[in-house]
Amino acid sequence: MTLMHQLQAGYAPGIPYSVDIKDHRITDVLEDVASRYPNRVALDFFSRPTTYQELVKQARQGATVLKRAGVRPGDRVAILMPNCPQHIVAVYAVLYVGAVVVEHNPLAPEREIHESFDRHGARVAIAWEKVVDKLAFLRGTGRVFAMDLTHAMPKVTRFLLSLPVKAAREKRQEISAPVPAYVPSWDTLVERADPMSGDTPARPDDAALLLHTGGTTGTPKAATITHRNIMANVAQDIAWVPDLHEGSEVVYCVLPLFHAFGFGVSFMAGIRLGATLALFPKFDTAMLLTAQKRLPCTFFVGVPPMYERILDAAEELDSDLTSVRFAISGAMPLDGELAARWEETSRGLIVEGYGMTEASPIILGSPLSPARRPGTLGLPFPSTEVRIVNPDNIDEDVPDGQIGELIVKGPQVFAGYWNREDETQQTLIDGWLRTGDLVVLDDGFITMADRRKEMINSSGFKVFPSQVEDAVRSMPGVRDVAVVGLPDKKSGESVAAAIVLEAGASVTLDDIRTWAEKSLSHYALPRQLVVLNELPRSQIGKVMRRRVREDILSMQSRAADLAQQAQEVVDQAQSAVSAAVERLRDKRQGDSHRDQDSSRSDK
């Protein structure tokens, strides 16, 4: 039996081996859904609704704004926003023009954003007011539009935020900021524009989206995702969960849209289903559970730390999660105990998916059936071929039960890295995507064995050691550094920096984090610090990160053993003291009884 036959044998009943991939552009799907559900709420933002009919109109108005700004088919337009209605409108506006959406983490450091723009060449950006200042480098060469997050909120909320009281003022400062006079308001321009008429000039195989990833080397680059890639993965997602009901689901969009998982599974699949997308600008359990009372979620997409925090908060607040019939977990392994706890609380099913940005993003998933196995990568999605091969020769499949590199072929596999043909050729070989992950076939399921790349997976975010090392190494007093990922129950992996100091220097973890946050995103900052006399190196002088990781884990294990031994000594000492006290008490009681007997005898 071939590998594919073994894997497909584990499919849940009714799941097709392949799906029909139609020649649809992303905007075609929105138009189709809006024609069938014009008055259904498409977006919910703090209880303010936007219907599908309104969404199409606003997106076409946004397209008019972009065309007037000179955006043409094939141009790249950068988006730097949290999850909000304007983000959704901006994505579709760009696509209506036939241009390419470039997603950015709005909280990334300015230097990282600038370098990304140098790579993808966007000269137009739509940005949250709080981050407009990070785009000052575009002045004179490009165009920036500012988005006001409060503009999408209900009128009552906006009124409360405008009150001249300390709490309102602090909240306003948290979510909005003044912008230079030369930066126009995206919200105002969209409201005043006439909707663009006609169809998008894009074709199904044209680029629709650029998402940043490390590729094969850890050097950031932009993965080119086409309209067909995205719509194919959406079709695969929906086929995997056939019990979802078109036109009636409520999907919580908590994962950021600049993340492939959030963009593809929450956003794009949600729109294709005609669902109501509840948008959350950040992950906040109180915010989420408050929304749950008003607009119960039916389909949730997240990462394991989110599920754990939601369960803890729901238990504390006595919140009802039984509306969530299906949940998908990704980006890191799902612990079996956590999965069981979620299913017991929600009475729904939770499975995990495995993917990568270069696959739009989902490749594998556990079946939504009693056969599901938490902790495994799962089975290939419909219309997806996989092989487990010798990493040094991908023409050679490894025998069943042996570890090999996972490679993938399917309609969701990306078109390549933007302007990086060398990297594309290393990653895409004859249509096969090299994942770089080492896996093994275990009782009909694909299971992760090890990471061939040295990328660190922290709460679903990719952290590349070389970038963190560059930031830390530039700090005064640091002579050398190696960055590795250490196991962490809550985040999957924790970023750890092993440093060698200059003579006489003294550096703390807080010092490192304060220095590095100038150039690193928050999730990439070291959470553990180890000071070493020297770093282990190979014969050619290369730092061996694997050895560093093993040494740190060994030191932590020895420290834990010593702590346990010390505790045992303390426990023994306490037992000895307790026994001595008990003997002394018995002796005193015995002496007391003898004295009493002697007294009675004298009488």
Categorize the per-residue pLDDT at 599 as very low, low, confident or very high, splitting at 50, 70 and 90.
low
> Which of 85-99, 458-472, 481-495 shows the lowest per-residue confidence on average (mean pLDDT)?
458-472
Res. 437: pLDDT tops 50: yes
Q: What is the pLDDT of residues 377-389, one digit of tens each?
A: 999 999 999 999 9
Q: Cα 403 to the chain's mean position, in Å? A: 27
Q: What is the pLDDT of residues 232-257, one digit of tens each?
A: 999 999 999 999 999 999 999 999 99
Which 3 state secondary structure label does DSSP give 62? helix
Res. 280: pLDDT tops 70: yes
pLDDT average, residue stretch 581-589: 77
| Predicted pLDDT of residue 150 | 94
Res. 588: pLDDT tops 80: no
Where helices occur in 269-377 by DSSP H, the ranges are 269-272, 285-294, 304-317, 336-346
| Predicted pLDDT of residue 597 | 63
Beta-strand pair 432-442/404-409: antiparallel
Categorize the per-residue pLDDT at 440 as very low, low, confident or very high, splitting at 50, 70 and 90.
very high
Res. 556: pLDDT tops 70: yes
Categorize the per-residue pLDDT at 540 as very low, low, confident or very high, splitting at 50, 70 and 90.
very low
Contacts of 124 (CB under 8 A, 6+ apart): 66, 69, 70, 71, 75, 76, 77, 78, 142, 143, 144, 145
- Between residues 595 and 258, which one has the greater pLDDT? 258
Res. 458: pLDDT tops 70: yes
| Predicted pLDDT of residue 72 | 98
- Between residues 490 and 273, which one has the greater pLDDT? 273
Res. 214: pLDDT tops 80: no
Hey, what long-range contacts does 155-159 have (CB within 8 A, 24 or more apart)?
157/46, 157/48
Instruction: For residue 91, give the nearest of 16, 26, 45, 163 by alpha carbon.
Output: 26
pLDDT average, residue stretch 141-159: 93
Query: What is the distance between the alpha carbons of residues 413 and 7, in angstroms, rounded to a whole number?
Result: 19
Percentages (nearest 5) of helix, strand, coil residues in the chain: 40, 25, 35
Instruction: For residue 83, give the nearest of 394, 301, 374, 234 by alpha carbon.
Output: 301
The one-letter amino acid at 90: A
| Predicted pLDDT of residue 569 | 82
Cα R_g (the chain), whole angstroms: 28
Res. 360: pLDDT tops 90: yes
| Predicted pLDDT of residue 103 | 97
Res. 570: pLDDT tops 90: no
Categorize the per-residue pLDDT at 355 as very low, low, confident or very high, splitting at 50, 70 and 90.
very high
Query: What is the distance between the alpha carbons of residues 349 and 181, in angstroms, rounded to a whole number?
Result: 51
Instruction: Classify burial at 148, counting beta carbons within 10 Å of its beta carbon; exposed 0-12, middle 13-18, buried 19 or more.
Output: buried
> Which of 60-64, 188-192, 443-447, 451-455 shows the lowest per-residue confidence on average (mean pLDDT)?
451-455
Categorize the per-residue pLDDT at 218 as very low, low, confident or very high, splitting at 50, 70 and 90.
low
Categorize the per-residue pLDDT at 394 as very low, low, confident or very high, splitting at 50, 70 and 90.
very high
Instruction: Classify burial at 295, counting beta carbons within 10 Å of its beta carbon; exposed 0-12, middle 13-18, buried 19 or more.
Output: middle
| Predicted pLDDT of residue 537 | 80
| Predicted pLDDT of residue 222 | 95
Res. 535: pLDDT tops 50: yes
| Predicted pLDDT of residue 465 | 84
- Between residues 407 and 401, which one has the greater pLDDT? 407
Query: What is the distance between the alpha carbons of residues 340 and 601, in angstroms, rounded to a whole number?
Result: 72
pTM of the model as a whole:
0.84
The owner of tokens 């990719």 is 462
